[in-house]
Amino acid sequence: MLRREARQRREYLHRRAQEDRIRASESKKQRLKQALEENRLLPTELRREALALQKSIEFDDQGAEGLVTQQDDEYRWAGVEDPKVMITTSRDPSSRLKMFAKEMKLVVPGAQRMNRGRHEVGALLRACKANGVTDLLVLHEHRGQPDGLIVSHLPFGPTAFFTLCNVVMRHEVPDIGTMSEANPHLIFHNFTSHLGQRVCSILKYLFPVPKEDSKRVITFANQDDYISFRCQASPRMQPLLGWGRHHVYKKTDHRNIELSEVGPRFEMKLYMIKLGTLEQAATADVEWCWHPYTNTARKRRFLSAD
């Protein structure tokens, strides 16, 4: 088992290194092709290898839509097989964190909750891989308040780290509706940048494919890089129906629908993505990290291109 995992990990790293080389070559080909089409001088750094690139362009497939990346390889079974999600907490969780873990188990269809106990991260990951788990969710807290969420995709990554804020449990929401266990329809709003699409994929593939007649809807709405999963709508985004909420709906007539919130409510903020699983966090490459101490940190928006 250990030898097989080590071999698969080496093969995965080799494919990722090959992808970087192919991407650099494709970028050079595109620049050369654009210079020839516009009838202008070739870039200085391409003049030595222009003839070799020109020959390789002739054999390229014109019908291809793009390269197959390691992101495609990570989620190659998405939509074919239902994900198998495991939810656990940090060690010695409070009663509030245990309750939040139970509610997150209801949010993700088919998820299983496991008591952390004294298990180490490495032992958790090995047990999850042996049982075919596709994603591991780890919840953290500070003084009884949930404040962190880690989503680790198995068997090779990536691992996304989120900060949680404004967490409201189901029992704290007045006139709460019943929780449906149907596979939900997903709405992702304002994830327009390349990083936003990456985060969208990490969250989207936690959920199985829903049926067309499912009455359950989950909305992830991005505003100022905060991903909202709650009921109250911002005044600037009031026209968006069901903004940042988890609800079920029913039709009252042929024109109108009635929404019923089922909770919980919280907001997430991404601060790191690592190209590896959780036990490799100390050595894995960092795909993206939020750097707050920069001059433009407050002005820049990473998850949206606006």
Beta bridge partners of 89: 139
State both tokens at 11: 């093969």
Residue 164 φ/ψ, nearest 5 degrees: -105, 140
Give the model confidence (pLDDT) of 104-157 as tens digits. Answer: 999 999 999 999 988 999 999 999 999 999 999 999 999 999 999 999 999 888
Query: How far are the Cα atoms of 191, 203, 287, 300 from residue 196, in angstroms, in the given order?
Result: 4, 11, 13, 13
The whole model's pTM is what? 0.78
Q: List the single range of 4-8, 133-137, 259-263, 296-300 with lowest mean pLDDT.
A: 296-300
The pLDDT of residue 242 is 40
User: ∠263-168-95 over CA atoms, to 5°?
Assistant: 105
Residue type, 256: N
The pLDDT of residue 285 is 85
Q: List the single range of 125-139, 201-215, 218-232 with lowest mean pLDDT.
A: 218-232
